[in-house]
Structure 1
Amino acid sequence: MIRHIVFFTAKTEDNLDAICDGLNLLGTIPHSTHFEVTRNTKVDQISNEVDVVVYAEFADEAALAAYKAHPTYDEATRRVRPLREIRLSADVIAK
């Protein structure tokens, strides 16, 4: 299993709803076994820069690749990219 985790910061707080809406499009792509978009609760004492988190699980690398190749992925990127400042991504293989 691969855990796909992506962190976003918004250019402005006013963009948060639109960012979440755009990212939720990704949940309609059929290749993940679990998918969620959440706002960061910002309760960490050291760092609270992240505004939105995408967490998804995929059976294998082929499923993750198919997810990223899906046309809806491009549409979500087109909607969210102008609204976000930073995007950090990690793909972790679960044992």
Structure 2
Amino acid sequence: MIRHIVFFTVKPGQDVETVRRLLTRLGDIPHSSVFEVAANRKIDLYANEIDIVVYAEFADEAAFAAFKADPIYAETTATVRPLRELRFAADFPAGG
């Protein structure tokens, strides 16, 4: 299983909830076994810059590749890119 976590910051003047809602469209892509988009609660004692977190799980590399190849992925990315400032992603196998 592959875990995919993406952290976003939203550009000043953009609405975090709007960007979060736009990112939820990625959940319509059928290749993930788990897909969540949430606004960061910003309760950490040291750093709260991240606005939105995307978390997904995929059965294998093929499912992850199919997710990224889906037209919804390209459309959503094109819509969100101008609204976000930073994007950090981590992809790793479950358990290790």
TM-score, length basis structure 1: 0.95
Q: CA RMSD in A?
A: 1.0
Q: Given that residues 4 and 57 in structure 1 are in contact (C-alpha distance below 8 angstroms), is that contact kept between their aligned partners in structure 2? A: yes
Amino acid corresponding to residue 55 of structure 1 in structure 2: Y
Unaligned 5+ runs, structure 1:
none
User: Which structure 1 residue ranges, 4+ long, deviate > 4 Å from structure 2?
Assistant: none
2-side partners of 1:62 and 1:93: how far apart?
13
Q: Given that residues 17 and 39 in structure 2 are in contact (C-alpha distance below 8 angstroms), is that contact kept between their aligned partners in structure 1? A: no
In the other structure, the counterpart of 2:7 is: 7
Unaligned 5+ runs, structure 2:
none
Q: Given that residues 5 and 91 in structure 2 are in contact (C-alpha distance below 8 angstroms), is that contact kept between their aligned partners in structure 1? A: yes
TM-score, length basis structure 2: 0.94
Amino acid corresponding to residue 62 of structure 2 in structure 1: A
Deviation at 1:21, TM superposition (A): 1.7
2-side partners of 1:49 and 1:13: how far apart?
15
State the identity %: 58
Deviation at 1:14, TM superposition (A): 3.6
Deviation at 1:12, TM superposition (A): 2.3
Deviation at 1:15, TM superposition (A): 2.2
1:62 aligns with 2:58: no
